Structure 1
Amino acid sequence: MKLVSILLITLFSTGNFTFSAQTAKDRKVTFNIKKGFSTINGQFSKIDYKIVLDKDGSETISGTVGISSISTGNAKRDKHLQNEVWLDATNHPQLVIQSKKIIRKKGGDYTGTFDIKIKGKTETKEIPFEVITNGGSKFLKATFTLSISTFDIGGGVVDLLVGDKVTVNVELPF
C-alpha cells in the first residue's frame, strides 16, 4: 500500500547512454507490506524511467510511477489506496525518484543516492542495486525498504493494522 517505487537503472557502458522505459518490456516495480497477520502484495503498471551514464562520471537516473496504476489484486483496496489519506493520487499523481549520486562498486554492483518523493514529501535514501546480464538482456535489480510514516501515508482504523515498512522490489530491463 505504499508506493515505491522506484526507479533506478544503470549500465556497464563506458560511453554516453540514454534509455527511456516507454518501450521497455518486463519492467517491474512491486511492493509488499504487512497488514495484520498477512502480507499485501502489489505492483504498479505505469512506470517511466530514464538513465544517462557518461564515462565522465555524470550518471543520472530518474523515474516516475503512476499512483493510479497501483494493483493489489483487489479493486476496492486499490481505489482506497489512491485516496487522500493513503497515496493521494488526485494531488500527487506520481511517485518520483531522482539520483543525486551513483557509485559503481565491483562487477555489476552499484550504490545510488536518490531523492524519493511521495505525497509531496521527499526522503534521500542510499539504495544498493545490481545490473544482471541474462542471455542478451540486462536488468537492474534492487530491493529496499521505505517507511510509510516518512511520507504521511495511512491513517484511521486500518492504519493500526498496517506495518510501517514497505519493501520495494525493482526489476528494470535496459
Structure 2
Amino acid sequence: MTSLAVTGHMDLTEESVPLVRAALRELLAQYSDDLTGVSCIAAGSDSLFAEEVTALGGRLVVVIPSRDYRARKVKPDHAPVFDHLIQAADDVVTLPHETANRAAYEAANAEVLKRADRLVAVWDGAPPSGKGGGTADTVEEAHAAGLPVDVVWPDGATRRG
C-alpha cells in the first residue's frame, strides 16, 4: 500500500483548478491499485487531492487540525465539499487542539507527514512565508524527514492575488 499525503495552496485561481485536478489524477493513477490519501481537506489543493483519491477508489484519511475547525474555518462555499469528504473518508482524525490556529495547522501537517510514504505538494515553489504551517514549510519538513516529494504545478496554474 502506498500512502500519499498532500500539502498545497488554498488560493488557486478558478482557471487553475481543472489543470491541477488533471495533474493530480495523472500522478495518483500510478498508485491506484492500493492507494491511501492523507489530507486535511482544506479548500483548494487539499480537497482536490482528496476528491481524486476517492474517485480512483483509494482510501481517504482526513486529519482535522482542531475541534473547532469546521465551525471556525470552513467557509460556506467550501462546506459542502468538506462535509462530503468527511463522509467519504475511511478514517477521520481530529487533533486535540481546541482552536484552529497556526500551532494546530503545524501539528496537522506533522500528522499527515507521519502517516505518509510520500508527499504530494501542489506548490508553485515559493519559499516559506515565515509564519509557519504553509505549503513550503511542509515540503521542507518532508525533505528533512527523508520523504520523497512529488511537486504538482502544471503549466498555466496560478494563485489568486
Q: One fold, TM greater than 0.5?
A: no
Q: Over alpha carbons, which structure has the higher Rg?
A: 1
Point out the structure with the larger helix share. Answer: 2
TM-score (norm 2): 0.29
